[in-house]
């Protein structure tokens, strides 16, 4: 802890607030996927907690911060449980669950790519390494959620852009940190930009190109 | 290691015995699932080892005990291999493999929720954090087993109660530790209670409630 | 880092070269599987990076070397990205992708079982523990690749021998290290042997035995 880079108490408070919001958003996405898969209330709670805390646990293991904060400070588990309870009692019909699921996930993604990058930078990682770890933090919870639920992870095959908004948000945050311009506001802007870009990609169906399918040999 | 909370040598011996039994039980469950999936002898051994040691490796990574004990002390790998060899030569027909698989898993689950909580507490975690890590230790091996074998993890969607017995066992153990009442016997009772509750839930088909399926809009 | 076992600068250089080659080979295998699954360019890059760096990240977490080298030194990510770009533009038709995929994977497997064992030994693990960790390093990236892509991991159910060549390569490397005979050349031989054995098993369809299917009760 003595090697932490000080960024001021306003940034520290923003980290806590951001992480709680991100945890809640990912918790909602995990609970919604569990409802869609027909899991019972325990499964809904378990998938909400795993999704909400998974990215942060991976981040903390990678920077060597053990035990990970999700195990030290149980408020994150409580926030994820609140999300699970909320969704257990109040959720849309299964066939239209995709939109709220992806929207909640977009907020978790955009928030965690910023806070994950900041945490990595505070622990002394270089700006590029911090951006890489921010990206992993952002996509980690969703990967755990999708693998546990038996769904192909969004980061691999979502149709719309998923990793790109998170990467841009992480890179922007790392750049701000490197040049000493990271504040409550610029960080919030980076996160909002990542969330907005993901939602825009969903709304406008922006796809990344696929590999050429080699039809030549089959064509005649 | 200097921060270890001393609980007496009887508890330490019980930890070793308990962990060996839990490893063997989870190894049997992993090997049985591998047989059901038609894996070859290497796949049976690999799934037995991954299931048996997975929860403990996750536990050790989370508390920062590196390398994890499964890599330092290869007796756990040997116990898992013994389970794999046993099941390779002696196993029930595929269509009735579910009962022995779930029974072996119940023993691993109930034992690890106790020993995992104790290990976490000995490493200085608070009682609630220790219970959380005990739960993760108990369900971790089974999650790894099910994800590797392409099955939905029991903790998410098992039908019968799975995480609840482990959570109760972890919470009871953490309470005993907190009040200084954890002994060879009270710990054994907590583990036996968790195993028994899981087996009872399987036998009596105790289910957790599912989320309401929103039939209103479809009904007429 | 102060506990590192010195093996000479020639070995250290060989480690870097070997790890880069292994990362590139696993990156190619991840990218090829992503193409076969129809993922877009981001998914191809993500699966290439996860496959290429996954085994090493697991290895580093287990020996407590945080942050893992893949996050400190981004050259491994760059090598995996190069593999992804190469495969994105130049890849065989989907129906014949299996052979190049398995060949690339064999090179990653054979190289990483050697370099992973060496890294573990350098960090003070015993020879048997080093061999175990070398095996985990070798199969870890492929497991992550297959689980993310929704495929049963090769290590569990590949048909041909997969874990056995890696185990023999790890054990040979650990034996060489234990007796002080590990050099640039003997290590290269162990790796080449592991790669060759895996390719030979693929070519000659060497299978491990399956468990007896218990037909007695069904037969009459």
Find chain A residues with C-beta within 8 A of C40's C-beta. Answer: 157, 207-210
Determine, yes or no, domain membership for B124: yes
Task: Return phi, psi of residue C160, to 5°.
Answer: -85, 160
- Cis amide linkage into residue A67, ω under 30° from 0: yes
Tokens 């997975």 locate to B54
CA–CA min distance B89, chain A (Å): 31
- Residue B2 pLDDT: 43
Residue pair B111/B95 in contact (Cβ under 8 Å)? The answer is: no
Q: How many domains does chain B have?
A: 1
* Distances from the Cα of C17 to the Cα of C12, C177, C183, angstroms: 9, 19, 14
CA-CA distance, A132 to C63, in Å (whole number)? 21
**Does position A209 have pLDDT exceeding 90, yes or no?**
no
Any A CB within 8 A of C87 CB? yes
Any C CB within 8 A of A125 CB? yes
Nearest by CB to A66, which of B63, B147, B162?
B63
CA-CA distance, C68 to C73, in Å (whole number)? 9
Using one digit for the tens of pLDDT, what is the confidence trace for B10-58?
788 889 999 999 999 999 999 999 999 999 999 999 999 999 999 999 9
Determine, yes or no, domain membership for A153: yes
CA–CA min distance C132, chain B (Å): 7
- Token code pair at residue B88: 């390779």
Determine, yes or no, domain membership for A78: yes
Share of chain B above pLDDT 70, in %: 94
- Residue B220 pLDDT: 34
- Token code pair at residue C92: 């065989």
Specify the 3-state DSSP secondary structure of A40. Answer: strand
Compare all CA atoms of chain A with the CA of C63 and give the residue at the minimum distance: A64
Any A CB within 8 A of C85 CB? no
Nearest by CB to B214, which of A40, A77, A93?
A93
Using one digit for the tens of pLDDT, what is the confidence trace for C54-83?
999 999 999 999 999 999 999 999 999 999
Rounded to 10 degrees, the C-alpha dihedral A209/A214/A218/A220 comes to 80
Using one digit for the tens of pLDDT, what is the confidence trace for C85-114?
999 999 998 889 999 999 999 999 999 999
Chains that touch C (3 or more CB pairs under 8 A): A, B
Residue pair C87/C80 in contact (Cβ under 8 Å)? The answer is: no
Task: Return phi, psi of residue C97, to 5°.
Answer: -80, -20
Rounded to 10 degrees, the C-alpha dihedral C182/C186/C190/C192 comes to 140
Q: Which long-range contacts (CB under 8 A, 24 or more apart) does A54-57 make?
A: A54/A140, A54/A141, A54/A143, A54/A144, A54/A145, A55/A26, A55/A112, A55/A116, A55/A136, A55/A137, A55/A138, A55/A139, A55/A140, A55/A141, A55/A142, A55/A144, A56/A19, A56/A23, A56/A112, A56/A116, A56/A137, A56/A141, A57/B62
Using one digit for the tens of pLDDT, what is the confidence trace for A54-68?
999 999 999 999 999
DSSP tag of C38: T
CA–CA min distance A21, chain B (Å): 22
Find chain B residues with C-beta within 8 A of C164's C-beta. Answer: 42
CA–CA min distance B213, chain A (Å): 7
Interface contact flag, B210 A57, Cβ < 8 Å: no
* Distances from the Cα of B131 to the Cα of A44, B175, C116, angstroms: 20, 9, 34
Determine, yes or no, domain membership for A160: yes
CA-CA distance, B187 to A106, in Å (whole number)? 44
Specify the 3-state DSSP secondary structure of A93. Answer: coil
Determine, yes or no, domain membership for B151: yes
Interface contact flag, C71 A156, Cβ < 8 Å: no
Residue pair C138/C22 in contact (Cβ under 8 Å)? The answer is: no
Any C CB within 8 A of A93 CB? no
Interface contact flag, B40 C163, Cβ < 8 Å: no
Find chain A residues with C-beta within 8 A of C92's C-beta. Answer: 214
Mean pLDDT for C182-211 is: 93
Nearest by CB to B38, which of C161, C163, C210?
C210
Determine, yes or no, domain membership for C209: no
Find chain C residues with C-beta within 8 A of A217's C-beta. Answer: 93
Residue pair C27/C80 in contact (Cβ under 8 Å)? The answer is: yes
CA-CA distance, A36 to A199, in Å (whole number)? 21
Using one digit for the tens of pLDDT, what is the confidence trace for B119-173?
999 999 999 999 999 999 999 999 999 999 999 998 898 678 999 999 999 999 9
Any A CB within 8 A of B207 CB? yes
Any C CB within 8 A of B180 CB? no
- Residue C214 pLDDT: 57
CA-CA distance, B166 to A133, in Å (whole number)? 32
Interface contact flag, B94 C125, Cβ < 8 Å: no
Is the dihedral angle over the CA atoms A119, A120, A125, A126 positive or is it negative?
Answer: negative
**Does position C210 have pLDDT exceeding 90, yes or no?**
no
CA–CA min distance B183, chain A (Å): 25
DSSP tag of A159: S
CA–CA min distance A100, chain B (Å): 16
Any C CB within 8 A of B75 CB? no
- Token code pair at residue A42: 């325990």
In terms of Cα–Cα distance, which of A148, A115, A143, A99 is closest to A22?
A: A115
For residue B195, what are the domain limits?
A: 9-204
Any C CB within 8 A of A131 CB? no
Determine, yes or no, domain membership for B219: no
Burial status of residue B181 (CB atoms within 10 A of its CB: 0-12, 13-18, 19 or more): exposed
Mean model confidence pLDDT for chain B = 92
Residue pair C33/C109 in contact (Cβ under 8 Å)? The answer is: no
Determine, yes or no, domain membership for A211: no
Residue pair C10/C182 in contact (Cβ under 8 Å)? The answer is: no
Find chain B residues with C-beta within 8 A of A91's C-beta. Answer: 211, 214
**Does position A202 have pLDDT exceeding 80, yes or no?**
yes
Using one digit for the tens of pLDDT, what is the confidence trace for A117-174?
999 999 999 999 999 999 999 999 999 999 999 999 999 986 789 999 999 999 999 9
């Amino acid at each position: 802890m003595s090697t932490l880079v000080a960024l001021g108490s306003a940034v520290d408070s923003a980290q806590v607030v951001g992480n709680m919001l991100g945890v809640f958003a990912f918790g909602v996405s995990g609970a919604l996927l569990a409802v869609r898969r027909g899991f019972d209330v325990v499964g809904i709670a378990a998938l909400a907690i795993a999704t909400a805390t998974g990215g942060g646990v991976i981040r903390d293991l990678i920077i060597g911060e053990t035990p990970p904060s999700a195990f030290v400070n149980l408020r994150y588990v409580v926030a994820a449980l609140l999300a699970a309870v909320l969704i257990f009692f109040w959720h849309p019909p299964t066939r239209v669950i995709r939109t709220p699921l992806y929207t909640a996930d977009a907020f978790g993604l955009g928030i965690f790519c910023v806070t994950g990058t900041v945490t990595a930078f505070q622990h002394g990682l270089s700006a590029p390494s911090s951006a890489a770890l921010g990206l992993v933090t952002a996509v980690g919870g969703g990967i755990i959620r999708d693998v546990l639920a038996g769904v192909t992870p969004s980061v691999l095959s979502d149709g719309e852009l998923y990793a790109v908004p998170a990467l841009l948000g992480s890179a922007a945050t790392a750049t701000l940190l490197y040049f000493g311009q990271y504040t409550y506001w610029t960080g919030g802007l980076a996160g909002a930009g990542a969330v907005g870009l993901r939602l825009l990609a969903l709304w406008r169906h922006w796809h990344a190109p696929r590999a050429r399918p080699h039809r030549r040999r089959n064509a005649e």
